[in-house]
Chain A
């Protein structure tokens, strides 16, 4: 993010250096993004669920560093913990142990309201099933995050319009989701994910519900965003789509197995 302050990034780096010595799988990424700011850092993150009497460890000591501009694909078989990884990394869920640091801020100490504000400011979501509000126009759907940021209505809608034009839907501003194709709906969702100019965009199987043509359109947009320098973390199980990312990790049994 070019508009983020320098002091923030300096602080983050200091923290990173201190911690990185203890985690071997950190070194590589630290080396790769030497001049880039760390936007997301996971330190030994553990997530346990209790189902009935059984304790299930969905994430088992995950450590990862994501630099500004990274396009990271997260793969893994179903049940491997990649969904949990996404929920934890996007601070929708709280880990059982470990730290999640976003722009230098330890999020595990935040309460629910603070996490909501942080998601609103720093995180964009693209879901497999789009999650647009039904019977609500595209432009209002895109503007939704700005409602919770306290932006006045006129400004919200103006920004939303610009975002829709950017994803190629300038002629569909007032259509409701039902009047749009799957690919168009996902583009609306991408515009919504971009509107608050987030530090990280999380995409959960963004092409999973789309036909191949629409899937390619969405892929192209994600590629463009990455070129613009957006940080994207994408969970997918399709290797073809994972290939558009610049970094790849695989999660097996709650642990990061392959990193490239």
Chain B
């Protein structure tokens, strides 16, 4: 009996029981479509974030206190808290970095505070960034008015730039430019509103930030802490060298674990690493349904073997060897599973196209091959037990079976 005949026999057996075959496939259909869809969401997200980072530009280097990418693991909460408590970055470090004229265009110190901002009766909790006037290069744009200028910065004026969402909630339809707002107990004049940037998928949104001159921030919060230094380097292709030079300068005063210098590619790598684990985790959970689907196939194939006991007996009496019976049933379960896998893929592909309307989903070739391979493997693995049962039936017992 050649393979082609065996295939035809298996296809026929599947078609004879169309309804049952479809229900049997349903488990694999759901399994494959959810695995592919979930991984497509994860992959799409990674691509989206990479694009966003590339849009922001890659000639920025960030200096933060503590050992962010060190043993504590990337962005571990504890190490980050300790880093801010033991923060040893100083304004003098910013000047040292700016002295590296070969690499650095400018370095922006940043001080971050949490406070309340109110206009008339409206109050909102916000994040205050104290920085210099050049910071407007790092935000996506100004919607109304302007960023505070060099003069206002250097003369320590009480001026403030609002994030888009803050301006929207506090002012509504009123034009905020030139209006007086209260930051804590201090009165500030609004010079501008930043463009809407959108949230970071549940993370803090830049739209709830406000920006004031650094020295003003030092004065009203009675601090001189620098929690972050944004460095704009001159040459994008010299990022690695720039990082090394900055590390060397800071290393003269600070210990290695008291500061971190990194560029966006490192953040991107970390985020993509986290997303990769997340995607694999989600895919893994979805894969459980694939296993359940496989058990469904095994169940139906076992029923099918019992139902077709006489057929098996007859085939054996007429000259089928146990191996030929085994292969017939294995091919049948593998075909059920592969057909289920194909239908699942089509559904997942359609689903990801529908998702693309509001989410960056992307079905990758790898995900397709994986889902296809796994569904075929599920069919074969879960088909073994029923097929073995069939191949071991005694022809006499089988023919006598009612």
Residues of A within 8 A of B (CB): 87, 90, 92-93, 112-113, 116-117, 119-121, 125, 127, 131, 133, 135-136, 144-145, 147-150, 153, 192, 196
CA distance A148 to B321 in the complex (A): 8
Query: At the interface, yes or no: B395 with Cβ under 8 Å from chain A?
Result: yes
Q: Is B5 an interface residue (CB 8 A)?
A: yes
Q: Which stretch from B203-211, B271-279, B311-319 is at the chain A interface?
A: B311-319
Tell me if A133 and B311 are in contact (CB < 8 A): yes
Residues 1-32 of chain B, each 1 if its beta carbon lies under 8 Å from chain A, else 0:
11011000100100010000000000000000
Q: Return the contact of B314 from the options A112, A131, A149, A150 (Cβ within 8 A).
A: A131
Report B55-70 CB contacts with A as 1/0, cut-off 8 Å. Answer: 0000000000000000
Is residue B310 within 8 Å, beta carbon to beta carbon, of the partner chain? yes
Q: Is the CB of B399 within 8 A of A113?
A: no
What residues on B are CB-neighbors of A112 within 8 Å?
321-322
B114 to chain A, nearest CB (A): 74
Q: Is the CB of A113 within 8 A of B318?
A: no
Please determine whether A113 and B322 come into contact, CB atoms closer than 8 angstroms: yes
Residue of A nearest to B8 (CB): A153
- Closest chain A CB from B368 CB (angstroms): 33
Report B341 CB to chain A, min CB distance, Å.
26
B399: contacting residue among A117, A120, A131, CB under 8 A: A131
A239: shortest Cβ distance to chain B, in Å? 25
* B320 near A148: Cβ-Cβ < 8 Å: yes
- Shortest Cβ distance from residue A110 to the other chain B in the assembled complex, whole angstroms: 12
The residue in chain B whose Cβ has the minimal distance to the Cβ of A88 is B396
Pairwise interchain contact B396-A125, C-beta atoms closer than 8 A = no
A119 touching B321, Cβ below 8 Å: no
Residues of A within 8 A of B1 (CB): 147-148, 150
When the two chains form their complex, are residues A113 and B310 in contact, meaning their CB atoms are under 8 A apart? no
Tell me the residues in window 349-402 of chain B with beta carbons closer than 8 Å to chain A beta carbons: 394-396, 399
Q: How far apart are the CA atoms of A112 and B320 in the complex, in Å?
A: 10
Cross-interface CB contact of B5 among A93, A116, A133, A153, cutoff 8 Å = A153
Q: Is the CB of B322 within 8 A of A119?
A: no
Give the distance in Å from the alpha carbon of A159 to the alpha carbon of B259 in the complex.
Answer: 87
Going nearest first, the 4 A-B pairs with the smallest beta carbon separation are A120-B319, A148-B319, A145-B318, A116-B321
A88 to chain B, nearest CB (A): 10
Is residue B323 contacting chain A, with contact meaning CB distance below 8 A? Answer: yes
Q: Do the beta carbons of B316 and A127 come within 8 Å of each other?
A: no
Q: How near does chain A come to B331, taking the closest CB pair, in angstroms?
A: 14
Is B324 an interface residue when CB atoms closer than 8 A count as contact?
yes
Q: Tell me the smallest distance from the CB of B163 to a CB of chain A, in Å.
A: 70
A82 to chain B, nearest CB (A): 14
In this complex, the interface size class of chain B, counting residues with CB under 8 Å from chain A, is: 20 to 34
A133 touching B318 by the CB < 8 A rule?
no
Asked if B2 contacts A148 (CB within 8 A), the reply is no
Q: Are A150 and B2 neighbours in the complex by a CB distance under 8 Å? A: yes
- From known contacts A135-B16, A147-B5, A153-B5, infer whether A113 and B396 are also in contact, taking CB-CB under 8 Å: no
> Can you list 8 A-B pairs, Cβ within 8 angstroms, ordered by A?
A92-B399, A93-B396, A116-B316, A117-B321, A133-B311, A150-B1, A153-B4, A196-B319
Contact of B319 with A113 in the complex, beta carbons under 8 Å: no
| B320 contacts A116, C-beta separation under 8 Å | yes
Nearest A residue to B5, CB-CB: A147
Alpha-carbon gap, A119 to B313, bound state (A): 13
Q: Contacts A116-B319, A131-B310, A153-B5 given: A148-B324 contact, CB under 8 Å?
A: yes
Pairwise interchain contact B322-A148, C-beta atoms closer than 8 A: no
B318 A148 Cβ-Cβ under 8 A: yes
Distance A127 CA – B323 CA, assembled complex (angstroms): 24
Interface-central residue, A121, A136, A144, A147, by most chain B CB under 10 Å? A147
Partner of B396, one of A87, A131, A150: A87
Within 8 Å CB of B16, what residues of A?
Answer: 135
**Contact among A113, A133, A145 with B323 in the assembled complex (CB-CB below 8 Å):** A113
CA distance A113 to B319 in the complex (A): 9
Nearest CB in chain A to that of B402: its residue: A129
Residue picked from B5, B16, B318, most chain A C-beta under 10 Å:
B318
Q: Please tell me if the beta carbons of B319 and A117 are within 8 angstroms of each other in the complex.
A: yes
Specify which of B9, B311, B317, B394 is in contact with A119 (CB 8 Å cutoff). B317
Q: Are B396 and A148 in contact (CB under 8 A)?
A: no
Check if B311 sits within 8 Å of A125, measured CB to CB.
no
Q: How far is the CA of A139 from the CA of B389 in the complex (A)?
A: 29
A148 near B315: Cβ-Cβ < 8 Å: yes
Which chain A positions have C-beta within 8 A of B319? 116-117, 119-121, 145, 148-149, 196
Partner of B318, one of A93, A125, A135, A153: A125
C-alpha gap A153/B5 in the complex (Å): 8
| A125, closest chain B residue (CB) | B317
* Contacts A125-B318, A145-B318 known; 17 new A-B pairs at CB < 8 A: A112-B321, A113-B323, A116-B319, A117-B319, A117-B321, A119-B319, A120-B319, A131-B313, A133-B314, A144-B315, A144-B318, A147-B5, A148-B1, A148-B318, A148-B324, A150-B2, A153-B4
Partner of A127, one of B12, B315, B324, B399: B399
- B contact residues around A93 at 8 Å (CB): 394, 396
| A4 to B291 alpha-carbon distance, docked (Å) | 54
* Chain B residues within 8 Å of A127, by CB: 399
Interface centre among A92, A120, A135, A136 (most CB of B within 10 A): A92
Q: Which B294-329 residues have a C-beta within 8 angstroms of A? A: 310-311, 313-324
Contacts of B315 in A (CB 8 A): 144, 148
Q: Within 8 Å CB of B4, what residues of A?
A: 153
